[in-house]
Amino acid sequence: MKTNLIIMLLLVLFFSACQSQKLPVIETGSQTPMPDAWIDQDTGHKIIHLVNREGDNRSFYFHNNPFLPATEKINEKMIFSGRVDDGSQLFAVDLKTNEADQITNKKGVSGEILGTKTRSVYYQCGDSVFVSQVETKETRLIFVFPDSIRGHITTVNADESLLAGAISSPKERELFRQNPEKTDYFNIIYEAKLERSLFTIDVQTGELKKIFSDHAWLNHIQFSPTDPEFLMFCHEGPWHKVDRIWTININGGNPKLMHKRTMDMEIAGHEFFSPDGKRIWFDLQMPRSKIFFVSGTDVATGEEKRYELTRNEWSIHFTLSPDQTLFAGDGGDPGQVAKAEDGMWIYLFHPEGDHFRSEKLVNMKHHNYKLEPNVHFSPDGNWIIFRANFEGHSDIYAVELTK
């Protein structure tokens, strides 16, 4: 009798524990604040607040790697930008404890550049370029742009020996100042055909080298994740007017076009490297707003691989899982290029033949897409990390891929 009573008590405790761990099933963004974790009622997927920090927090742009691997003594981390009294600073969040730690402490910090080799962030404050080690916070000045040069760093190469970015002209900066909204400046800067130059800065010596110049709006500069001499950049502007995606060897040679448009109003853009650096993936529409693909060009052979998707599945940005078997997208509202009636979702994409099979992960109908979600796969491939403003401010969330 006593044994039966003990078993009954243990069962009661077990089921009580199960009940206490049960997550609420609610509409994402339907209340403020949202709980720390919940189940999206429309998709059945678990969503969590990834960053345990008050205020505005933003994860990195979709093609900038934010993840630091774990060591014997340190958990896996993600770098993000957080708002403080004197502007934005860079933080690291422990992906096991969700605790955030501020890395930088300078005024006017800008940049989303992480070096996994030295566990350091590279950033710019006005005309000055710095590097800070994530754990020790040790900070070093790398370079100061002279008054005659206005440049901005955007990427670090695979062995962390060089930073790269673009130098703009005084005339271009004045046009931006006069036309602060993208709807105004986007065509104006493109049509101006002002000179821009790609440059590198030696991380150790601070030596600046111009490696390529053109009377074009050079932008979206990204080093290969595996080849320290291989750089990608774009010809920015209205996508239907440009052959956009280019690569160059920083030690010489001519730029190489990665995708040539073949029809009127064809567009290609929002390009990013595969994790192994062997392919460049991008949003392809043939023509614009009609037929949608995610396409990838082999950087060695030029061979293209394409997956078709529907209008509603089109996303502002796409990304690829660490094992390169799955894609994800951040969706888009009806005002985006796809003009989707039901596109406000975080998506998981399964390649099947020449098309994607999609799975909806998060209902984003309460999110204002003026803040782009910018999806990332977690390093273990089990979560999609994104930013959103459905609680009235920007914050960082993660959705679990398994239900």
pLDDT at 161: 98
pLDDT at 183: 84
DSSP calls for 38-55: EEETTT--EEEE----SS
DSSP state of 180: -
Fold of 260-403: Methylamine Dehydrogenase; Chain H (2.130.10)
pLDDT at 173: 87
By the 8 A CB rule, do 280 and 299 touch?
A: yes
Residues in the chain: 403
Q: End-to-end distance of the chain based on CA atoms, in angstroms?
A: 40
Domain boundaries, the chain: 145-257, 260-403
d(CA 207, CA 163): 10
**Token pair in block for residue 336:** 């985006």
Q: Is 128 buried (19+), middle (13-18) or exposed (0-12) by CB count in 10 A?
A: middle
The residue with tokens 């994104």 is: 386
By the 8 A CB rule, do 241 and 256 touch?
A: no
- Digit-by-digit pLDDT tens for the chain (403 residues) are 455 544 444 444 444 444 446 999 999 999 999 999 999 999 999 999 999 899 999 999 999 999 999 999 999 999 999 999 878 999 999 999 999 999 999 999 999 999 999 999 999 999 999 999 999 999 999 999 999 899 999 999 999 999 999 999 989 889 999 998 888 899 999 999 999 999 999 999 999 999 999 999 999 999 999 999 999 999 999 999 999 999 999 998 899 999 999 999 999 999 999 999 999 999 999 999 999 999 999 999 999 999 999 999 999 999 999 999 999 999 999 999 999 999 999 999 999 999 999 999 999 999 999 999 999 999 999 999 999 999 999 999 999 999 9
Instruction: Tell me the Cα Rg of the chain.
Output: 23
CB atoms within 10 A of CB 10: 10
d(CA 343, CA 85): 35
pLDDT at 17: 41
pTM: 0.93
pLDDT at 4: 54
Identity of the residue numbered 347: Y
pLDDT at 21: 64
Characterize 174-206 residue by residue with b for buried, 16 or more Cβ atoms within 10 angstroms of its Cβ, and e for exposed.
ebeeeeeeeeebeeebbeeebebbbbbbebeee
CA distances from 5 to 2, 11, 16, 339 (A): 5, 10, 16, 63
pLDDT at 19: 42
Beta strands in 53-169 (DSSP E): 57-58, 67-68, 77-84, 87-94, 100-102, 109-115, 120-125, 128-133, 139-144, 150-156, 162-168
Fold of 145-257: Neuraminidase (2.120.10)
